[in-house]
Amino acid sequence: MIRDRGKIKWLPAHFMPEHRAMLKRITIDDLKQKKPHLDELEFEEIGYIVMESLKYTIPIRVTIWKDGLFEFTTGIVDKVDMHMKYLLLESNGELSRISIQEITAVERI
């Protein structure tokens, strides 16, 4: 009977750090997506929810698109700066600055 070592026999192929870095980069590149195109109605809905959170301190969940990947953050809008095109989102006592161009969706929690 032949005893196979299973996955262990392939481990030396991943020995070189350059090879591991390349495989990690390929995996991340496969996960990347194009930025969704928002129409005027979606922009208005996002603006309405953001201003509602600012005025009435309602928590919201913001979907952000950065470098082909989506990130999610929650909090309450502290400030909206239309001149510099960003908003400040307060979450757990910390403020995070979010560019308006990166926002793809906003929903009430």
Q: Using the structure block, give the residue that is written with the tokens 């980069």.
A: 25
* Burial (CB count <10 Å: 0-12, 13-18, 19+), residue 32: exposed
pLDDT of residue 57: 94
How does residue 65 score in pLDDT terms, banded at 50, 70 and 90?
Answer: very high
Domain locations along the chain: 40-108
pLDDT of residue 99: 96
Buried b (16+ CB within 10 A) or exposed e, 35-61: eeeeeeeeeeebeebbeebbeeeeebe
Q: CATH class for domain 40-108?
A: mainly beta
pLDDT of residue 16: 75
pLDDT digits (tens, 9 = 90+) for 68-106: 999 999 999 999 999 999 999 999 999 999 999 999 999
pLDDT of residue 107: 97
pLDDT digits (tens, 9 = 90+) for 2-54: 666 666 665 665 567 887 888 888 888 888 999 999 999 999 999 999 999 99
Dist CA 105 CA 109 (whole Å) = 13
